[in-house]
């Protein structure tokens, strides 16, 4: 794994309990509890975006969107099974030019600096099936700050406008793709490298394995399949079963 440098910026942390996992919800995004817990576990020299920087990023992105129009948001990972945001319509959709990939080192949340996990992101090339959500124009001022607090504090993603194709027709949608300039970008990884990390890494948001299982589950429920992700899920399950068997056989 390459050396991973801290991000620039700072975010005020709130006090939060340290003895249990925390879930991403509207409340924990709104009150800063998720970021507080993440910051509590981060190395002392690791910094995060300020609220002002998040707001500036949001404003820059939304300058390309008419204020009186609804916004479509494309989700490919946890946004499919834990969208959090309020929406009025959901469509199965496919985007082109980006594919779902394990390509981000995960130091916090579902990993640690000592034992990094891996996170899914959209990387260049190919296509990706997921869900498009319609957020009404009158709710954008309330919903978008939650989305930016969820996706953007670590400078790992960048907002991207693209076309999401669905059975009901194409829509212009916002999504978040990996920033290849980020020191957390992994580049291309083998299945073995991915399985090793996903099978063992965990943190205050849960395990990499549960994130993978939830993503595969929702894809299957929608009648979709990501061939590589399904293969990795089977390999992770086999690795964990082997490890459990070895532990049970130990004297």
- Rounded average pLDDT per 10-residue block, the chain, 251 residues: 35 41 95 90 83 97 97 98 97 98 95 94 98 98 97 95 98 98 95 97 96 98 96 96 72 61
Cα distance between residue 159 and residue 152, in whole Å? 9
Q: Where are the domains of the chain?
A: 26-244
Classified by CATH at the fold level, domain 26-244 comes out as Hypothetical upf0131 protein ytfp (3.10.490)
**Torsion, Cα of 7, 178, 218, 111 (10° steps):** -30
Could you give the residue numbers annotated as active site? 151
DSSP class of 6: P
- Tell me the CA end-to-end span of the chain in Å, nearest whole number: 34
**Taking the model in full, what pTM does it have?**
0.89
88 burial (CB, 10 Å; 0-12 / 13-18 / 19+) is: exposed
At 251 the pLDDT is 61
């Amino acid at each position: 794994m390459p050396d991973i440098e801290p991000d620039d910026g700072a975010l005020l942390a709130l006090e939060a309990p340290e003895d249990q996992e925390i879930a991403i919800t509207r409340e924990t995004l709104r009150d800063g509890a998720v970021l507080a817990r993440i910051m509590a576990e981060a190395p002392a020299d690791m910094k995060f975006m300020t609220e002002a920087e998040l707001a500036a990023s949001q404003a820059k992105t939304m300058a390309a969107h008419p204020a009186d129009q609804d916004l479509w948001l494309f989700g490919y990972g946890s946004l499919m099974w834990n969208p959090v945001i309020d929406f009025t319509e959901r469509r199965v959709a496919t985007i082109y030019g980006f594919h779902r990939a394990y390509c981000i080192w995960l130091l916090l949340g579902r990993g640690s600096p000592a034992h990094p996990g891996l996170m899914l992101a959209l990387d260049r090339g190919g296509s990706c099936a997921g869900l498009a959500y319609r957020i009404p124009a009158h709710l954008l001022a309330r919903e978008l700050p939650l989305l930016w607090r969820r996706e953007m504090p670590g400078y790992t993603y960048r907002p991207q406008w693209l076309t999401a194709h669905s059975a009901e027709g194409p829509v212009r949608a916002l999504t978040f793709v990996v920033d290849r300039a980020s020191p957390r970008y992994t580049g291309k990884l083998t299945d073995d490298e991915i399985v090793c990390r996903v099978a063992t890494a965990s943190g205050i948001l849960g395990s990499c394995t549960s994130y993978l299982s939830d993503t595969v589950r929702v894809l299957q429920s929608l009648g979709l399949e990501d061939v590589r992700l399904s293969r990795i899920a089977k390999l992770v399950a086999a690795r964990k079963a082997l490890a459990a068997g070895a532990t049970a056989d130990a004297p």
